[in-house]
Structure 1
Amino acid sequence: MIDWITDLPHIELTKPIISELTGTLSISCWIIVFIPQIYEIYKTKSTKGLSLHFLVLWLIGDIFNLLGSIIQGLLLTVILLAGYYTLADMILILQYLYYRHREEKSNNIGIRNLSSNENLGDLEPILLSPTTSHVSELEPLLEHCDPHRTNRRSDMLCNVFAVLMVLVAGFISWYISFVREYRKGSATPIIHKPQLTFNLWGQIFGYISAILYLSSRVPQIHLNYKRKSCVGISLLFFLFACLGNILFIISLLVISLDHQYLMINFSWLLGSVGTLSMDLTIFIQFFIYDEQNSSLQQTKRTADYSNISLSKKKQPGVTSPSYEDIDDLDDSVV
């Protein structure tokens, strides 16, 4: 066992190895990129917060990206990724349409039930039950513990762990391939500068896909701004997209900085760099609106407690619960 470990080749960070490694890590990020958003929609059973225009433009961009990469004769990994993106886009759009239909159907049923009920006033005392007011009186005891902040910290740790696991899996996949090549007699992969020829239609499709990628983020950014919230979209979705673009850019540029090579790949570089900047804008929205929502929720809790306390004081013969009644409160809530 020890001999097998000592026989493993050492990694020298040459340009070919860096290109292969970053390319493999990029593929790992792009393979997983759609799963967090698909799970987010499945978990919440809602499409609120996600722009359909964003998904449609991304799908069209991936189609042109697939056609352009095939015509231009780019790396096989680029072609395979473009095909995978197209398939994943279709799955995400179908899921979006399915849950949007369910939401509209549920809303229509709710409106009909609401309009047919003529005695809604009978339900009002439930909202003013003693238990509810009793719980509200004790909210200041828990002000020092912000559940929103705790959940945010927990979500951040989960996101970091997920990213590390994907990168580790990508590295292991690359290293297994590297060891196989080493034992075949090729200790270091040799990547010659690709001899690409300029193809007009391939370039046209490439630039169209880049424009569509850039414009696809605009509806999502506008929707987030209009709602002042990023609830409904997955932070990991855009985090993996950013990492995938960064690693893809490195894998391309480390091969060659030759003028012709850069010009032929410029549309794909432009699409990656442009969408990276757009995704960073969405990241900023995540943190800005998350802080704003946290402040608003804290302010609302404080205002609600103040209103309830004032109303209690105005009622003769009504006293606020003492701290000794906390045990009784726990039993009533359970």
Structure 2
Amino acid sequence: MATARFPGKSVDVAATNWTAPAPGRPLCVNGTPWMLYLLEECVDNVWEYCSVVIGLISMFCFLLSTLPQVYEAYRNGKVEEAMSFGFLFFLFSGDVTSFAGCYLTSQLPIQVVTVVFYIFTDLILISQFLYYKIKNSSSRKSPVLKWLCFTWCGAATLVLLALPKFIIDNSATLDAQSPTTSKSVEITGYICGYLASVFYLCSRFPQLYKNFQRQSTEGTSYLLFALAMMGNGTYGLSVIVVLPALRGSKQTFLIKHLAWLIGSLGVLILDFFVTAQFIMYRKNNSSKSGTLLSVPEVEPLLCDEEELSVL
């Protein structure tokens, strides 16, 4: 999940569009007003505009990607059989390190809030996984388990609601640091970006193995991977689209976004393999569902035939 600064936000692109009528208060002369207000983005040409819009589409896809799986887990009730815990763990690790990269590289407030939402949905998925694993392995229902799950989700929600404000309030402290310290902090942030990319890439392999081992994708929502593919694809496109508008070095710009590009495009390729598994195992899923549906209807008929034969 790419959480780097929007590709259009670059001093190489829009440096000439800023004037300073007041100390510390730059003004974008020819920029799009709503982008300037919402994203602090000075956009004055079609390439930058398309890049930012595609970036927003990418972010929206990622925001929605985990919700279908949350519903599927709630409906199915056997998420521990369908999902790999390694997939959830690496996904959560990637979002946490991506959050650290956002903070250390002074990303936009909207991106901080977005990555916090990613972490929140990761915690819901992990909580569902652990809840159903304990519930399905236990011989009797325990109301304490349900209350513990609700308490955990409530506490995590409160913490994550307060976290964006804390991060945004402290971003000014990072900006006020000395150039040397600021540079080292920024490098650390980009290292976190590379770590996040590695975690995202690693997240797909446990799930691919889990699906191969079961020869089925039942219990997992394809929308999780389809929306992730759309998000990763549109993120890469948003970086490419802005390249013609750059007035500075294209190589430097790509290097700054390389960590997130590797993660996004690498996961996109792996999700094609997940898609292939959904297609290959589709018959297995339908045959299992058909068997489960046919048992209640066939069983009484078999019993009646056995009774008649005895008579």
Aligned to 1:44: 76
1:206 is aligned to 2:238: no
Read off the aligned partner of 2:88 and give its amino acid letter.
L
Please state how far the C-alpha of 1:286 moved relative to its aligned partner.
0.3
Aligned to 1:3: none
Please state how far the C-alpha of 1:81 moved relative to its aligned partner.
2.4
Read off the aligned partner of 2:132 and give its amino acid letter.
Y
Which of 97, 102, 107 is the matching residue for 1:69?
A: 102
For 1:166-205, what aligned pairs fall within 5 Å after superposition? Answer: 199-205=186-192
Please state how far the C-alpha of 1:73 moved relative to its aligned partner.
3.0
Q: 1:60 to 1:235 in 2, by over 3 A?
A: same
Which of 12, 27, 46 is the matching residue for 1:14?
A: 46
> In structure 2, how many angstroms separate the alpha carbons of the residues matched to 1:262 and 1:50?
35
- After superposition, the C-alpha distances for 1:81-116 in whole angstroms (9 at most, x for unaligned) are 2222112111211121111111111xx359xxxxxx
Q: 1:228 to 1:102 in 2, by over 3 A?
A: same
Aligned to 1:259: 251
Classify the secondary structure of the residue corresponding to 1:230. Answer: coil
Aligned to 1:218: 205
Q: 1:296 to 1:216 in 2, by over 3 A?
A: closer
For 1:1-334, what aligned pairs fall within 5 Å after superposition? Answer: 14-47=46-79, 48-105=81-138, 108-109=139-140, 199-256=186-243, 258-294=250-286
Read off the aligned partner of 2:254 and give its amino acid letter.
L
Please state how far the C-alpha of 1:295 moved relative to its aligned partner.
6.7
Gaps of 5+ in 2: 1-43, 142-182, 245-249
Please state how far the C-alpha of 1:293 moved relative to its aligned partner.
4.7
- After superposition, the C-alpha distances for 1:163-198 in whole angstroms (9 at most, x for unaligned) are xxxxxxxxxxxxxxxxxxxxxxxxxxxxxxxxxx79
Please state how far the C-alpha of 1:72 moved relative to its aligned partner.
2.0
> In structure 1, how many angstroms separate the alpha carbons of the residues matched to 2:111 and 2:47?
19
- After superposition, the C-alpha distances for 1:25-65 in whole angstroms (9 at most, x for unaligned) are 12221121111000001111221211111101110111101
Read off the aligned partner of 1:60 and give its amino acid letter.
S
> In structure 1, how many angstroms separate the alpha carbons of the residues matched to 2:260 and 2:109?
14
Please state how far the C-alpha of 1:210 moved relative to its aligned partner.
0.5
Classify the secondary structure of the residue corresponding to 2:82. Answer: coil
> In structure 2, how many angstroms separate the alpha carbons of the residues matched to 1:204 and 1:260?
16
> In structure 1, how many angstroms separate the alpha carbons of the residues matched to 2:259 and 2:205?
19
Aligned to 1:117: none
> In structure 2, how many angstroms separate the alpha carbons of the residues matched to 1:77 and 1:274?
25
Please state how far the C-alpha of 1:226 moved relative to its aligned partner.
0.2
Please state how far the C-alpha of 1:14 moved relative to its aligned partner.
1.8
Q: 1:43 to 1:296 in 2, by over 3 A?
A: closer
> In structure 2, how many angstroms separate the alpha carbons of the residues matched to 1:30 and 1:294?
29
Classify the secondary structure of the residue corresponding to 1:232. Answer: coil
Classify the secondary structure of the residue corresponding to 1:217. Answer: helix
Q: 1:55 to 1:254 in 2, by over 3 A?
A: same
Please state how far the C-alpha of 1:79 moved relative to its aligned partner.
3.2
Larger Rg: 1
2:104–2:189 Cα contact (<8 Å) kept: yes
Read off the aligned partner of 1:245 and give its amino acid letter.
N
TM-score normalised per structure 1 = 0.56
TM-score normalised per structure 2 = 0.60
Q: Which has the higher contact order (CA 8 A, sep 6+)?
A: 1
Read off the aligned partner of 2:208 and give its amino acid letter.
I
Read off the aligned partner of 1:272 and give its amino acid letter.
S
Q: 1:17 to 1:203 in 2, by over 3 A?
A: same
Please state how far the C-alpha of 1:297 moved relative to its aligned partner.
8.2
Read off the aligned partner of 1:58 and give its amino acid letter.
L
> In structure 2, how many angstroms separate the alpha carbons of the residues matched to 1:46 and 1:36?
15
Classify the secondary structure of the residue corresponding to 2:216. Answer: coil
